Amino acid sequence: MNIQRLEPKHAEAYRALMLEAYATHPNAFTSSAGERSALPFAWWQGRLDENPAAGQVVFGVLQGGRLCGVAGLSFETREKARHKATLFGMYVPAAQRGLGLGRRLVSAALEYARSRPGVRLVQLTVTEGSAVAEALYARCGFVAFGVEPMAMAVEGGFVSKVHMWSALAAEAV
């Protein structure tokens, strides 16, 4: 299995995997399958911009040419927040879970964030009660710093999000 930064040529597989993620786990993602499926294909290609200074990057696990997991990073552009990145769209399908792919994806994202000049920390949110996901992030060095109540309106009510962060270097703490 190979983890690499995805390129526009991976857009079709990336779109399909993420639409599966949104449909299968609607409480885990802020975006819905319906709103994302309505986006033009160019949006998906743009998210996989190959520019070294791209505002977002997505990493994927490829096995035999098949995309088996993804995780993205977005980088702040505002002057006072450029030291932060956000981990987003982390997904490994059920058939590939338990193989350490999630940890490898998060590690690849953190390593990439370290390589970006000025980036000092990575943040993420995870749905409250998602113990397996929260434990994965904790093993990768993330620490919870708060809970946002009613973060997302979902069918049947609301879910809260746990906010977590990880310093990229010891002096960032």
Percentage of the chain beyond pLDDT 70 is 98
**Is 56:72 a contact under the CB 8 Å cutoff?**
yes
Q: Is the pLDDT of residue 170 over 70?
A: no
Query: 65 pLDDT band (50/70/90 cuts)?
Result: confident
Find the angle CA(58)-CA(64)-CA(70) to the nearest 5 degrees: 20
Q: What is the mean pLDDT of residues 101-114?
A: 97
Token pair for 46: 């743009």
DSSP for 78-141, please give it: SGGGTTEEEEEEEE--GGGTTSSHHHHHHHHHHHHHHHSTT--EEEEEEETT-HHHHHHHHHTT
Q: What is the mean pLDDT of residues 136-145?
A: 97
Q: What is the mean pLDDT of residues 8-23?
A: 97
DSSP for 1-18, please give it: -EEEE--GGGHHHHHHHH
Query: 101 pLDDT band (50/70/90 cuts)?
Result: very high
Q: CA 122 to CA 65: how far, in whole Å?
A: 29
Q: What is the mean pLDDT of residues 17-35?
A: 95
Q: Is the pLDDT of residue 41 over 70?
A: yes
Q: CA 116 to CA 130: how far, in whole Å?
A: 30
Q: For 44, phi and psi rounded to 5 degrees?
A: -65, -40
Q: Is the pLDDT of residue 63 over 70?
A: yes
Q: What is the mean pLDDT of residues 89-99?
A: 94
- CATH domain 2-172 topology: Aminopeptidase (3.40.630)
Q: CA 113 to CA 150: how far, in whole Å?
A: 29
Q: Is the pLDDT of residue 78 over 60?
A: yes
Q: What single-letter DSSP state applies at residue 50?
A: -
Q: What is the mean pLDDT of residues 115-128?
A: 96
